[in-house]
Amino acid sequence: MRSALTRLALVATVGLSAACSAAPATDRPARTDTFVAGLGSEPDSLNPVLGYAADGGSLMFDGLVSRNADLSLRPALATAVPEVKGKTVSFTLRSGVTFHDGAPLTSKDVAYTYRAVLDEKNDSAVRGDYAAIESVEAPDPATVVFHLKYPYAPILQRTTLGIVPDGSLERSGFEAKPVGSGPYRFVSRTPGDKIVMEANPSYWDGAPAIKKLVLAFSSDDNVRATRMAAGEFDAVELPPKAAARFENTDGLTVHRVPSADYRGVMFPMNEPVTGDLAIRKAVNLAVDRAAMVKTILAGAGRPAFGPIPPDTTWHNPAVEGSPAADQAQAVRVLEEAGWVAGADGVRAKKGTAARFTLMYPAGDSLRKELALAAASDAKKVGIDIRPTGLDWDAIEPRMSKDALMMGMGTPFDPDYTNFETFHSQFAGKGFFNPGHYKSPEVDALLEKGRAETDPAARKEAYDAVQRRIRDDEVWAYLVFLEHVYVVRGAWTGVAPSVEAHEHAAGGLFRNLAEWRPAA
């Protein structure tokens, strides 16, 4: 099992050697006193128990393991990455690790963290990811033992979860001033604006060179680009077109990083229009993915036809289609299903117009452009899609009724994200399965995939999941993105890695503690 996951990580890194488009960055020095990174999204919570950076993207917390640039696992709080045999997994902790408040980190803290995630009263956003854990024991201060309900293939991957001090949730003030053991310690937070951290001088793996780190948040892509151009940011994440202005600029480096991060149209399955398979199939046929990659992504991406990216072990090539639009076939599908063109060009069936709203987050220029392009393509076959930009508070309660230009994706393990996105038990639970997709066959395959230890059997299960999702046209998958960053100054230690959705595991900044100014 462990070797299979390592192969996935190694295959997923194909193409990383060409991931950076670098302009000279020697004219302006790299700053180590204060480093400001501009990010597009802000975490709701800073508590790992509640779901913060569960895949290892936090600089304030350490997991038992972390990831190398090739996605393979390496020890962090644990002294080694253990082998998995059956339903028992044991970790030995490295000695001398302390939390930011000086308290020693022991196995009691590890056991507490995982038990708190599993405790229903804490309502953790990631509790379902750890459902395979029956119990966690701390037989001595340096040993943690996980007992599983069943063999669970991704268990080692799940131990990137940040560890919090024993009793954290029972003490008031942890959310306002979180305490971890990572390379940076919390200083302050201004909701909607920034999080300030400082280097942990006693970090077990060596103190970072960057002494003060500011994570500045703005959901508006144009605002982030403007602030980068004005010199307010030392680094920023941007969509490809917004980053183009910084190409070939002295003192700046533009990094284009492969990802498993996809964008697509999430369809509500219980609505009369989007609930009709013919409508969903026609949209999938009508959209021109190749044009989207060329124009909207400025070439920084590739067409998508399912949730698992090509060039990874788990991808099923049978779900791939033509990147170009097939509008003639889309028209045939609609007409055979009884969707008849009207005088206004919009099709209708039994008095219901082929019309639906497609929401997107208003400040996200990339999703807006994709929504507009999908609407334009669909109009050519008689489907009236109405793009609507809203803030997330307005979007969330409408997801069961209105389609959404949504993003997901992970390069780690096919159980990640896909279980919550497609299993019926998560239907309507926030951003998990918001379209209320329900398929007993897919449920059974997902359950088999996460419990099976044989790599070949897992591959067979996830191949079948991908085929069924494609047959049901649950989403109109459009593109896989390359994540684009602009960094000021010359640095060593920058290590691009195939990334998950929305920089969920820290993105290019996941190892800022290892960055050093270039000589």
How far is the C-alpha of 65 from the C-alpha of 159, rounded, in Å?
6
| Higher pLDDT among residues 127 and 13, named by residue | 127
Percentage of residues in the chain with pLDDT exceeding 90?
A: 81
pLDDT at 503: 66
Neighbours of 223 (CB within 10 A): 13
Residue 15, pLDDT > 90, answer: no
Instruction: Band the pLDDT of 23: cuts 50, 70, 90.
Output: very low
Mean pLDDT of 23-43: 76
The answer to which of 15-29, 320-334, 392-406 has the lowest mean pLDDT is: 15-29
Residue with tokens 């991957």: 157
Mean pLDDT of 432-439: 96
pLDDT at 31: 82
Q: What is the DSSP letter of 93?
A: B
Mean pLDDT of 334-345: 97
Residue with tokens 């009207």: 342
Burial of 257 (0-12, 13-18, 19+ CB in 10 A): buried
pLDDT at 25: 36
pLDDT at 112: 98
**How crowded is the C-beta side of 507, counted as CA atoms within 13 Å?**
25
pLDDT at 11: 34
Residue 88, pLDDT > 60, answer: yes
pLDDT at 86: 86
Domain annotation for the chain: domains and CATH numbers: 17-257+485-517 (3.40.190.10), 258-481 (3.10.105.10)
Instruction: Band the pLDDT of 321: cuts 50, 70, 90.
Output: very high
CA 168 distance to own-chain centroid: 26
pLDDT at 57: 83
pLDDT at 504: 61
Residue 452, pLDDT > 80, answer: yes
- Please provide the DSSP assignment of 273-341 as one string: TTTSHHHHHHHHHH--HHHIIIIISTTSEEE-SSSS-TTSTT--GGG---SS--HHHHHHHHHHTT-EE
Instruction: Band the pLDDT of 450: cuts 50, 70, 90.
Output: confident
pLDDT at 484: 94
